[in-house]
Amino acid sequence: MADVLLSAQKVSKRFGGIVASDVIDLDVEAGTLHAIIGPNGAGKTTLVAQLSGELRLDSGEISFAGRDMTRLAMHERAQAGLVRSFQITSVVPQLTACENVALAVQAHDGHSFRCWKPARSDASLRDPALACLNEVGLAAKADRLVGSLAHGEKRALEIAMVLATRPKMLLLDEPMAGMGPEDSARLVALLAKLKQRFTILLIEHDMDAVFALADRITVLVYGRVMLTGSPGDVRTDPKVREAYLGEGAGS
């Protein structure tokens, strides 16, 4: 068995009366693409927020690459290589696509107190930024203000920004949210490429995409893990079919 890169143990979170995460155990093996599926409100985004450090745990522990992360802040976990994307696009619309990605490069290379050299013409930022934009198919839009990009392009930018931080592991929260079928297909192809290089935790509603990409799948319902297994296990599990996939789905 491969090493476990990210491990969550007995992670819980309550919002008032709602138990968004109910004693969740999750192990993601290095080099795999692990998908989390579940109906709306199952607690998938909440789990990502806890893993990435944006939300404190009510209880439980999180370790990453052999390090206890439970008490680390979001930026510290990102610097350790655990970097998330957002279900609701979170970029800087007032800057260009290239500037957005260059900031992510800057976050990784750690010289952000430099206040003399112009950043926009700095090749050590711009070149890797353009490479990441190219990887997600946005190279032609590098110098466009992000506010003027189409929805699918902003979703691609989300991923480019994560890649530019040179992460060890990607936490992707519904990267295909709101995309048309063409953009989705392109993104599936991109994720298939990225899974060769990165460990990925993928939250996704699109079942075809999940079954095409995932090595392992965890089904989350009402904040609880219903099942973790191979795509085959999940596809054939009667409880899952009933609770989430619905009759006849998953083919």
Ligand X SMILES: Nc1ncnc2c1ncn2[C@@H]1O[C@H](COP(=O)(O)OP(=O)(O)OP(=O)(O)O)[C@@H](O)[C@H]1O
User: Do residues 227 and 237 make contact, with C-beta atoms less than 8 angstroms apart?
Assistant: yes
Q: How far is the CB of 105 from ligand X (least distance, A)?
A: 29
Other residues' Cβ atoms within 10 Å of the Cβ of residue 236: 12
Residue 49 or 78: the one with the smaller Cβ distance to ligand X is: 49
User: Do residues 23 and 60 make contact, with C-beta atoms less than 8 angstroms apart?
Assistant: yes
Distance CA 245, CA 251 (A): 10
Residue 198 or 244: the one with the smaller Cβ distance to another protein is: 198
Distance CA 36, CA 43 (A): 10
Q: How far is the CB of 112 from ligand X (least distance, A)?
A: 29
Of the candidates 125, 136, 176, 226, which one interacts with another protein according to CB under 8 A? 125
Of the candidates 1, 17, 114, 246, which one interacts with another protein according to CB under 8 A? 114
Of the candidates 6, 11, 42, 125, which one interacts with ligand X according to CB under 6 A? 42
Of the candidates 12, 65, 87, 108, which one interacts with another protein according to CB under 8 A? 108
Q: Which does 18 bind (CB under 5 to 8 A by kind): Mg ion, another protein, ligand X, none?
A: ligand X
Binding mask 12-31 for ligand X (x = CB under 6 A): ---x--x-x-----------
SS3 for 168-228, per residue? CEEEEECCCCCCCHHHHHHHHHHHHHHCCCCEEEEECCCHHHHHHHCCEEEEEECCEEEEE
